[in-house]
Amino acid sequence: MATTNLTKTIATVVTDWATAIAADAQEGHTAIQTVTNKLAASFGIALARSTGSAYTVGPKVRIEASYHGSDNQGWRQLDAIQMAVGASIANTTLNGAVSAAATSCVVTSATNIAAGDILFLGHTATVANYEIVRVKSVSGTTVNFEEACVNAHDSGAQVTDQAEIYSLGPYDLSTFARVRVILDNVGTGQGVYYRCLMNTLDSVATA
């Protein structure tokens, strides 16, 4: 019986954790990806509040692909998402350091944090340690995670509620040359943290 073998590239960083201020529309650090040898792609996007205030309008993320290999005339939108405006939220800090693989944290205030919420955990010095966790339960100022966190977070690091995570795609890339992800934060009134990863299907072979 024939076997189908798929070759994939996993978790390409399109945009690592970055901050967009209220007037920004940006592609991020390494947002344009060449996909001439890719068949398809899907994108994982994380968005998190950088303040506790509601947005005027929610931040937008656009996934775009280009027919052209270098200029800017060929970009076409594949998809778009928009973060909820939300309400005023928990904007607190860690009351004690959190080690990698920890299953809980202690915050200065747990007001409005509830089971099922998606939290942003920051770091006062290391942007690479930013991450998103989902709340399993809350007891006093102790927040328990559904799964262990990946990174370490120092005492005093920012914690905000109502983060959002998305999976977009897969999209057929067989006729495109490049893709990019654009975070449009214009008019939101608040800053936002964001990250985007890309998985691609590179080839299909039958043996």
Nearest to 21 by CA among 196, 194, 181: 194
Domain with CATH 2.40.30 in the chain: 91-160
Q: What is the pLDDT along the chain (207 residues), one digit of tens a residue?
A: 778 899 999 999 998 898 888 877 665 445 789 999 999 999 999 999 999 899 999 999 999 999 999 888 899 999 999 999 988 787 899 999 999 999 999 999 999 999 999 999 999 999 999 999 999 999 999 999 999 999 999 999 999 999 999 999 999 999 999 999 999 998 999 999 999 999 999 999 987
pTM of the model: 0.90
Cβ neighbours for 71, distance < 8 A, ≥ 6 positions apart: none
Nearest to 169 by CA among 133, 205, 206, 197: 197
Considering the four listed CATH numbers 3.40.50.720, 2.60.120.230, 3.40.50.300, 2.40.160.20, the one that applies to the domain covering 4-86+163-206 is: 2.60.120.230
11 by DSSP, 3-state: which?
Answer: strand
Domain with CATH 2.60.120.230 in the chain: 4-86+163-206
For 129, phi then psi, to 5°, come to -90, -5
Considering the four listed CATH numbers 3.30.420, 2.40.30, 2.130.10, 2.60.40, the one that applies to the domain covering 91-160 is: 2.40.30
